[in-house]
Every structure is written in structure tokens, then in C-alpha cells.
Amino acid sequence: MHSLLTRLRVWANTFFDELWRLIPAQPILFPFFFVGGVITLIWYPGANLLRWENGATATYCMELWKFLAVISPLMVLLAWWMIIYRCGRTRYAGLLIRLGGDIGQLFVLATYLLARFIDPTLGLRDDRIYGLSVILGSWVFVLILVARDLYALWFVEQLASKLRLGLNEDRRDARR
Amino acid sequence: MSFSLSAASYLVTGGVGVTIGTIGAALIQAFTSRSEGRAHAADMVADAAGNLTDRLTRLNDRLDDENKQMRRAIILLTDVVDQIIPLVGAPPEIIAQLKKANNSAKLAV
């Protein structure tokens, strides 16, 4: 028992003292986004989650929204596997898929924000204020992820163009 | 149609378009030979990030070890100097300077 407590204390020291700055938010947040999307899709297929008046456009939006809510976190998971465990072209494709997944999630949250909190016909009631801040925080976080993905792709493009330039110079030198 | 529904239809359609577009672009990049340069660059970036972390961790461990060795050496040295000071037949101002330097070294560790 004493040993278990000691080990727990050592783990807590390491976790909170050395690693707390590095807790990755994306792997914590995205499974919840995914589970929320799956629950909506499977258990509440006809639910008008975004509280729109019934009609073809509302149904179309709701179906696309559910599709994006489920597919986006899955794309991010796939991209993570491709970037970490694969190499070459698959890794580069992983960077593109990660961007697509993050943009998809950004649009899911933006639509939810718009429909549930910003719609002027609904009004911002007092019971929505805290929820609004939480969803808005998540949206800003995903926006930063999109910026990160774009930066990573830009950086790879820059490096690739430099590599191509170096290769062309080598070929020119070889011809001489 | 309400304002939010109209805006949302654009948002979700755009989102699905971008998502499917990136999947298409990823498939093209993964199965064509035109992206060799990008693939090599992506490898370099990912490997450099991994290597940098490994290198910094190793450097940190080495500096930590060196620091511990130096502390041990300074403690040993200051103890010996403390024992030698009464035996040294130097002028009082030199002895005072030696004591001051020794105390500074003790405070540093």
C-alpha cells in the first residue's frame, strides 16, 4: 500500500510538475466531439439538434452537419496514424487529411454556435451564456489547429521547393 | 428561411466541400509520383522534430550529470580548503580573501 502511494506520488509529481505544460488538448477534445456526433447520428437520427424550422434546407443542413461531426474526428485520427507511423507520400497525405479534419470540425462547431447561440430569433438567454463560452473556446482552439496545419503544409512546401532547387542545381552542375 | 439557417447551409456545405477536397488531394498526393519532393520534405520535417527532442533530452541529461560532478568536486575542494587555511602561513589579507572565495564557492553549490 505504501509503495503504491509512493508510486502514485512520484507519478503525480512527474505529471503535474514536469508534463503539465504539455498536456495535448486535441486527443482529449476530439473523442468527445466524435462521441457527440455518433450519439446524435445513431440514437437521435431525426433530432432537430440545431433547432431550425422543419423543411428541406433544415434537413439537408442537419444531415451534412452529422456527417461532418462524425467524419472530421475520424479523419484527424487517421491523419495522426499516417503522420506518426508512416513515411513519405503517406505522411504528406496525412498532413492534408489532418487539415481537412480540423476544418471540418471548425465548420461543425461554427454551425452549432450559429444555430444555438447567435441566431437573433432565439436570443442569447442567461442559461446559454456559459455554454456559449465553452463552445466558443473550443472553436478558437480548433481555429488555432487549422492555422497549425496550414503552417505545417506551408513549411513542407517551402522545404520541398528548396530541395527541388538544390536538385536542379546539382543536375546543372553534373551537366557541366 | 431564417438568417442562421441560410448561413448554416453555406457553412456545412463549405465544410463538407473542403473535407472531401482535402481527402481527394491527399489521395492524389499518395498515389502519384509527382509529390516525391513534398514527401521527402514531410519526412525531413517530422524526423527533425523527433530528432530535436531526442537530442535536447540527451544534452540535458549530460549537462545534468556534469553539473552533479562539478557540485561534488566543489564541495570536496571547499572542505579541503577549510582544513588547509589554519595551516597556511600567508598574510592575514590573503587568508581573508581565501576564506571569502571559499565561502562564495560553498554558497554557489
Q: What is the ipTM of this complex?
A: 0.70
Q: What angle do CA B105, B74, B108 make, to 5 degrees?
A: 35
Minimal Cα distance from A104: which residue of B? Answer: B15
Per residue, the 3-state secondary structure of A134-168, as one string, reads HHHHHHHHHHHHHHHHHHHHHHHHHHHHHHHHHHH
User: Which residues, in sequence order, are CB contacts of A65 under 8 Å at separation 6+?
Assistant: A49, A50, A108, A111, A112, B8, B12
Tens-digit pLDDT string for chain A (176 aa): 668 888 888 887 777 766 666 667 888 999 999 999 999 888 877 766 666 666 777 788 888 899 999 999 999 999 999 988 888 888 889 999 999 999 999 999 998 888 877 766 666 677 778 888 899 999 999 999 999 999 888 888 888 887 777 767 777 777 76
Give the amino acid at A163. L
- Residue pLDDT, tens place only, B40-99: 777 777 776 666 666 777 788 888 889 999 999 999 999 999 898 888 888 888 889 999
Given CA atoms A117, A119, A125, A127 in this order, what sign does their dihedral have?
negative
B12-37 average pLDDT score: 84
Work out the minimum CA distance from B85 to partner chain A, whole angstroms.
Answer: 43
User: B43: which chain A residues are within 8 Å (Cβ-Cβ)?
Assistant: 87-88, 91
Phi first, then psi: give them for residue A92, nearest 5 degrees.
-65, -40
- Under an 8 A CB cutoff, do B41 and A163 touch? yes
